[in-house]
Amino acid sequence: MTTTAAERAGYTSADARTRARGGLTARGLGLVLALAGLIVVSVVSLAVGTKSIPLGTVWDALFSRGSTTEDVRIILDLRVPRTLIGLAAGVALGLAGALMQALTRNPLADPGILGINAGAATAVVLAIRVLGVGSLTGYIWFAFAGAAGAFVVVYLLGTRGRSGASPERLALAGAAVGAALLAVTNAVALLDVTTFDRYRLWTVGALSGRDLDVLWGVLPFIVIGTVLALGLGPSLNVIALGEDTARALGANLNRTRVLSAIAITLLCGAATAAVGPIAFVGLAVPHIARMLVGPDQRWLLPYSLVFAPTLLLIADIAGRVLARPGEVQAGLVTAFIGAPVFLAVILRRRIVPL
């Protein structure tokens, strides 16, 4: 029996819809599994450290009241704040990295490309040297203000002229501002021993030594940045087609860039203020997510949101286990993990030239 062209077209359309539903189901299932993995890693973060604690004790500490054993105090006073801060900072770094790579169309972009980390570092070292700030909770607002101020300068420099903002101009402005701020930071820190000692404890990037006051200070910014980031997925997909095509499709490029920049500033500023400048999480995680779900930002952003805190907590757990009874800070472990990803991206020649 022969089929008409209309019938064949109908079969093709039905097959396409079936494949689309299958892809949607697979991605959704993958995200659920990733969330389950994050929960498991979070529980391990509560149980594993310099002193390993049984899972039953972890359960009692979280859900039973009245127990005041040493293990319970370790969990509630040290590991719960550490894990929650790792979750929040990981979410912020993962989303910021994915946004930056989409906005600049540069697969090597990370939170340092727009000078945000450099701005936070400069503000912290000046707060220590000039104002005598000596606590992590005191660093938060200075780090956040420095990150936001650096971004404003970069964006103003990158949008000068009639051509407006572009990935190339923003990247170049970020590199220039970051280099200048790094010089200021090093000069101030190296000229005063006390400033250097306090600054180096923050700049290594760590989850240890933070309490819940640090989390409550940055959480509103992370929540706002997360909502903005997740809402930008469709617009970033259109921009990926090229500026001319995006304009032809009616996309508002300036609006998308401004909202993306605001989200990046909120997320990077909050994460850097809370845990210091942790490298490679924002770079590596979007590439891992892209291998699983492709370039669709509507899926890439949620996957990055889940994978990044998972990676950060794994790095923190590894740092506690590898150097018992001491520990290796999470920022050093993420650099060790992320460096091979950085090299792999370069070797695969998937760099978008500026």
**% residues pLDDT > 70 (the chain):** 87
Q: Are 331 and 206 in contact, with CB atoms under 8 Å apart?
A: yes
pLDDT in tens, 13-29: 555 455 556 566 888 89
Q: Is the peptide bond before 325 cis (omega within 30 degrees of 0)?
A: yes
**What would the 3-class secondary structure string for 9-29 be?**
HHHHHHHHHHHHHHHHHHHHH
Q: Are 342 and 108 in contact (CB under 8 A)?
A: yes
Residue found by looking up tokens 């969330």 in the block: 35
Measured distance CA(217)–CA(269) in Å, rounded: 12
Q: What is the CA radius of gyration of the chain?
A: 22
What single-letter DSSP state applies at residue 308? H
**Cβ 279 vs Cβ 335: under 8 Å:** yes
Distance between start and end Cα atoms, the chain: 56
Q: What pLDDT is stored for residue 53 in this prediction?
A: 87
Q: Which residues contact 76 (CB under 8 A, 6 or more apart)?
A: 61
Closest to 270 measured CA to CA, from 154, 184, 142, 173: 142
Reported pTM = 0.85
The whole-number pLDDT of residue 35 equals: 96
Domains of the chain, with CATH numbers? Answer: 82-347 (1.10.3470.10)
Find the helix packing angle between 297-322 and 330-347, rounded to 10°.
Answer: 130
Higher pLDDT, 243 or 185: 185
- The torsion defined by the Cα of 223, 41, 321 and 308, in degrees rounded to 10, comes to -40
Helices (DSSP H) in 48-135: which residue ranges? 55-63, 70-74, 80-104, 116-126
Q: Give the residue among 177, 81, 173 at the shortest CA–CA distance from 121.
A: 177
Residue 226's pLDDT is: 96
- The predicted-structure confidence for 87-113, as pLDDT tens digits, reads as follows 999 999 999 999 988 887 777 777 777
**Residue 262: predicted pLDDT:** 87
User: Residue 160: which pLDDT band, with cuts at 50, 70 and 90?
Assistant: confident
Greatest mean pLDDT among 114-118, 209-213, 298-302: 298-302
d(CA 37, CA 85): 18
Instruction: Give the model's pLDDT for residue 3.
Output: 53
pLDDT given at position 87: 96
Q: How far apart are CA 290 and CA 300, in angstroms?
A: 6
* C-beta of residue 118 within 8 angstroms of C-beta of residue 188: no
pLDDT at 145 exceeding the cut of 80: yes
Q: Is the pLDDT of residue 62 over 80?
A: yes
CA-nearest of 291, 268, 277 to 344 is 291
* pLDDT exceeds 90 at position 241: no
3-state SS of the chain: helix, strand, coil percent to 5? 75, 0, 25
